[in-house]
């Protein structure tokens, strides 16, 4: 549902940017306007589904769902009958602008932590590109309204949308003729795969040995810092952690070492009087707030409750 809604919204926007007088749209103009103003909402929902695997609607609390439904009906009234609609229309543009900023901020702050290469390099960058594009169009709509009826702007708008679609949907055309005998080719591919697998296993062993040695206690530990220590490219380290260890988020991978280490310290009778903050900082956490969130998410209780139970 999220992708069809996004496609319909973009089609509606492109249709309305054509240099055509408003009266020529007839009865189509209100629904086109409605879908146009839903673009930011559809984009956010599609972004959420692409990066988290669930729709935004499914995780919204009941109060926000109710407010969203009321806002949708206000948009329907706006485009199908409300006479004084200028203010509500501008408010919706500002809300849409804010939603696009949410996408951009989330993309920037979670980009380096994402370990899924395809999602990281394609979807996330695609969403950033579309968000910048929609931000630009929203600013033009708000500040330079006269541009939207200019034929050159309409042509440039359609051309940019066409380029983005081509980039996202481009097929792979790297098909080469293969004259190598099949038996020889299979033997070569098998040898190459075995060599590649041996290299991966050696790299994975180095990664595990490094983490077991306590490297996870480094403060401000990033995928780049870990890659430099292993003398491997960053994308290679992401592949190892994601494909072989099953983590799609770097923080989750690091916390899989830090949280058990903190629990071990909390169980130590000799350290029962030490502040939890001290134990957290020793293990690599930068603040008590980030530690508390991670610990409760992993264990279901706070560190203090965990210690008291022991």
pLDDT score, position 213: 92
Instruction: State the average pLDDT over residues 29-39.
Output: 77
Q: Provide, rounded to the nearest whole percent, the portion of the chain with pLDDT above 90.
A: 16
34 vs 300, residue with greater confidence: 300
C-alpha distances in angstroms, 140 versus 95, 137, 147, 199, 217? 15, 5, 7, 52, 48
Taking a C-beta distance cutoff of 8 angstroms, is the pair 155, 148 a contact?
no
pLDDT reading at 241 higher than 50 = yes
Model pLDDT for residues 86-132, shown as the tens digit of each residue: 666 677 778 877 887 888 888 878 787 888 877 777 666 767 777 77
pLDDT score, position 126: 67
Q: Among the ranges 89-93, 241-245, 258-262, which has the highest mean pLDDT value?
A: 258-262
Q: How confident is the model at residue 281 (pLDDT cuts 50, 70, 90)?
A: very high
pLDDT score, position 146: 64
157 vs 242, residue with greater confidence: 242
Segments making up each domain of the chain, as ranges: 2-169, 210-309
Whether CATH 1.10.10.60 fits 210-309: yes
User: Structure pTM?
Assistant: 0.65
Model pLDDT for residues 159-218, shown as the tens digit of each residue: 777 776 666 555 544 334 444 566 665 565 566 666 777 888 888 899 999 999 999 999
CA atoms of 42 and 48, how far apart (whole Å): 10
Mean of the per-residue pLDDT values of the chain: 77
pLDDT reading at 282 higher than 50 = yes
Nearest to 291 by CA among 275, 307, 302: 302
């Amino acid at each position: 549902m999220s992708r069809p809604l996004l496609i319909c919204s973009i089609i509606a926007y492109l249709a309305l940017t054509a240099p055509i007088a408003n009266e020529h749209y007839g009865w189509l103009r209100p629904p086109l306007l409605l879908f146009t103003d839903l673009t930011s909402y559809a984009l956010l929902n599609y972004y959420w589904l692409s990066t988290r695997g669930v729709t935004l609607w499914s995780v919204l609390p009941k109060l926000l769902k109710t407010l969203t439904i009321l806002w949708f009906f206000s948009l329907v009234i706006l485009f199908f009958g409300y006479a004084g609609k200028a203010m509500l229309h501008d408010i919706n543009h500002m809300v849409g602008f804010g939603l696009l900023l949410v996408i951009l901020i989330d993309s920037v702050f979670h980009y380096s932590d994402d370990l899924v290469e395809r999602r990281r390099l394609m979807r996330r960058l695609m969403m950033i590109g579309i968000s910048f594009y929609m931000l630009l169009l929203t600013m033009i709509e708000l500040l330079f309204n006269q541009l939207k009826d200019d034929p050159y702007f309409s042509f440039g708008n359609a051309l940019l949308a066409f380029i983005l679609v081509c980039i996202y949907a481009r097929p792979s055309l790297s098909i080469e003729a293969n004259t190598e005998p099949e038996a020889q080719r299979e033997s070569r591919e098998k040898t190459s795969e075995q060599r590649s697998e041996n290299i991966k296993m050696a790299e994975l062993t180095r990664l595990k040995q490094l983490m077991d040695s306590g490297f996870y206690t480094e403060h401000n530990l990033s995928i780049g810092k870990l890659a430099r220590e292993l003398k491997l490219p960053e994308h290679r380290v992401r592949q190892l952690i994601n494909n072989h260890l099953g983590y799609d988020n770097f923080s989750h991978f690091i916390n899989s070492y830090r949280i058990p280490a903190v629990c071990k310290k909390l169980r130590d009778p000799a350290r029962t009087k030490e502040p939890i903050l001290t134990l957290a900082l020793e293990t690599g956490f930068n603040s008590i707030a980030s530690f508390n969130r991670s610990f409760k998410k992993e264990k279901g209780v706070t560190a203090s409750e965990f210690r008291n139970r022991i």
